A = this chain, B = another copy of it.
């Protein structure tokens, strides 16, 4: 993970992530990033740290995963001068879509992307808030592959390494600003 970001250190960013035990279901410790989002200096630092690994990579499109991923992916896209493409929950996109199902840390769901959103051969990065078990990111990756685009890798604000999600990412580059344990309480 990154050492220091532009205007907040990673430790300061970590202090703005709130642990919420037993949300959305018993036994899950939810990582609430809303205190970080509400701090403009922290938010800018986080976005710049997420964009930094891709600045020299000629990224054409940033795919953001609904819904929290949108909050980070849209400013990352701007920082990279790339287009923004939403990967959405079922039934939300109005035109023809590719669809992929995935298992979540809690439950399961699917993701869709417009079939005409990523031209074949375009250079794509997937951005989401948290890398947990990796199921969502892997589904997003399959959507990019179905489009014929070139997936360069992934960026996350938070990685929860104890959940092993990195193993689902096909060995592609995956950057996270912070790496957090899953133990309850703490920060």
Contact = CB atoms under 8 A, between A and B. Distances in A.
A84 B84 CA distance: 19
A2 interface: no
A55 interface: no
B40 A78 contact: yes
B71 A86 contact: yes
B24 A38 contact: no
A179 to B, nearest CB: 21
**Interface majority SS (helix, strand, loop, mixed), chain A:** mixed
B40 A93 contact: no
Given A34-B86, A67-B66, A86-B37, A47 B95 contact: no
A170 to B, nearest CB: 24
Interface string A103-138: 000000000001001000000000000000000000
Which of A18, A40, A81, A91 is most buried by chain B, counting CB atoms within 10 A of its CB?
A40
Interface residues of A, number: 40
A94 B130 CA distance: 15
A178 interface: no
Contacts of A91: 24
Contacts of A18: 95
Interface in A30-70: 30, 32, 34, 37-40, 43-44, 47, 61, 64, 66-68, 70
A67 B86 CA distance: 10
Contacts of A43: 74, 77-78, 83-84
Contacts of A66: 67
B37 A94 contact: no
A34 B43 CA distance: 24
